[in-house]
Amino acid sequence: MSDQKLSSATLEHILAHRSIRQFKAQKLDRALIEQLVDAGRAASTSNHLQCVSIIRVTDEALRSALMHCCSNQEYVQKAPEFWVFCIDFHKHKQICPQAQLDYTEVLLIGAVDTGIMAQNLLLAAESLGLGGVYIGSLRNQMEKVGELLGLPAHCVPLVGLCLGYPDQDPPLKPRLPRESLFFENRYQPLDSELLADYDRQMADYYRRRSDIDMNWSKNVIKSLDKPVRPEVLGYLQKQGFAKK
């Protein structure tokens, strides 16, 4: 019975996830930080390569510079904690100088491992009463972020994470219906009726949260009908990735 209760509590935390952008001033103690790092360390990793490093940013001037790289999102500066998750094959190159890290698959392995670790860590944080928000906007100036953090070759910043005790209670953001992403045996095309219903849900959400005219389809178009960070490939290749 205790195992069932634990599983139920875990599921409740997962389903209650919201991005938190306002935090109380309360700091995280060292023991809690170490617990979160251990939760990240326990994440699944391809071929046990463990190709992720986390940089905890505590220097205020560095936080400010990183905030400017992240579309001036003020919570990057104000959150009690700001951590940067990096794809890191630098240590592997030290162990194996002949490592062939310029294949695209190596970058994919690093991105998958980094995402799994970051999610593991945030789920652990939420289970302990914390909240957070991922910061993908650091890739707006990915090379500058790498320079600010002193990243060597074969190491790139992938995503940031603001962490702290929540000082807001935002509503849940509706997700795509199960039938739109969970298929049996064969892929299924997007169902127009399901999409229309979901767009209505999202339009209502955006009206209530921000009083704006937006839905999921409009958001997709806004995000993808233009070049998406075209400078990223050049930086990745400069760092030794995605050449083949």
Which H/E stretch holds residue 84?
Answer: strand 81-88
pLDDT attached to residue 9: 84
For 94, the 3-state DSSP assignment is helix
Whose CA is closest to 76, among 21, 118, 140? Answer: 21
Given a cut of 60, is residue 3 above it in pLDDT? no
CB of 26 closer than 8 Å to CB of 131: no
Of the candidates 109, 181, 168, which has an alpha carbon nearest to the alpha carbon of residue 133?
Answer: 168
Q: Is the pLDDT of residue 63 over 90?
A: yes
* pTM of the predicted model over 0.85: yes
Q: How confident is the model at residue 206 (pLDDT cuts 50, 70, 90)?
A: very high
Q: Which residue in 75, 170, 155 sits closest to 114, CA to CA?
A: 155
Average pLDDT for the chain: 96
Element (H, E) at 162: strand 155-164
Query: What is the per-residue pLDDT across 72-93, written as a single tens digit (0 to 9) for each?
Result: 999 999 999 999 999 999 999 9
pLDDT for residue 1: 46
| Tens-place pLDDT, residues 4-54 | 565 688 888 899 999 999 999 999 999 999 999 999 999 999 999 999 999
pLDDT-derived band at 67, boundaries 50, 70, 90:
very high
Give all domains of the chain, ordered by start, each with its CATH number. Answer: 2-170 (3.40.109.10), 174-244 (no CATH)
- The two structure tokens encoding residue 90: 């630098």
Q: What is the pLDDT, as a whole number, of residue 8?
A: 84
Query: What is the C-alpha separation between 167 and 26, in angstroms, rounded?
Result: 10
pLDDT in tens, 118-132: 999 999 999 999 999
Arithmetic mean of pLDDT, 100-110: 98
Average pLDDT score over residue span 161-173: 97
Segment 170-174 shows an average pLDDT of 95
How large is the average pLDDT for residues 99-104?
98
